[in-house]
Amino acid sequence: MRRLPGRRVVVAGGSSGIGAAVARAFTAEAARVVVLDRDGPALDRLRADVGCRTWAVDLDDVRQTRESTEKAIAWLGGIDVLVNDAGPGRFAPLLEVEPAELASCFSLPAQTMLTTIQAAALAMVGFRAPGDECVGKVVNVASAGRGAGGQAHYAAAKASVMALTRAAAHELGPHGITVNCLCPGYVRDPLTAADRPEAASWSALSPLGRVGEPEDVARAAVFLASSDSDYLTGDALHVAGGMVLH
């Protein structure tokens, strides 16, 4: 039995890696998916491979992001699930980080996440029927990292995702909308070059003896998007193979 039949889903930041895996997993579960991202060629490949709808958009641009999210919701005829996976990894020594770099790290993902949540939540509330217990799901992708060396600005940005998730859960819960966070560990992802030699050292940190795959995170996203998670909100689910035990 498929777990997301007919669910209308918008994925912000899904041209590759975890976002693309989420689009594949949701489509396989019979959801209708629209993916928003700036990478046109990658979106074209995803559309051909998965069969989802895609729109190229600069997620750093608030106006474009809001308009594209609203356009996707209109095309779907409403929205049941929003997945936010915007925000590439950036690394630099703490003493070399420029203050402007910290600000830019917050535009993706925190600024994008706020913009898409606002658009999606307004639509979810508008489509709520009397007696509906859970009318919408928001799934934000943060990180299981705790600010290791070279990750000060990245860790701060991802921590803001978790804080915004909790705040949104408080405000949107009365409207029947759950908001949760996925916290991946080291994931084998072309965008983060996880096939580098240090992937082996990260594998040693997991009791399972391997790094994560995008599909591991996508399966957890399916759970948070399904009715199985209706009583979870404001939570952070670690998908890190036990690495957070260290």
Which active-site residues does the annotation give?
154
User: Could you say which DSSP state residue 187 is in?
Assistant: B
Distance CA 85, CA 96 (A): 27
Distance CA 67, CA 12 (A): 13
Q: DSSP letters of 74-128?
A: HHHTS-SEEEE---------GGG--HHHHHHHHIIIIIHHHHHHHHHHHHHHHT-
Distance CA 32, CA 54 (A): 11
Distance CA 69, CA 66 (A): 5
| 165: enclosing H helix or E strand | helix 152-172
Q: Which amino acid is at 198?
A: E
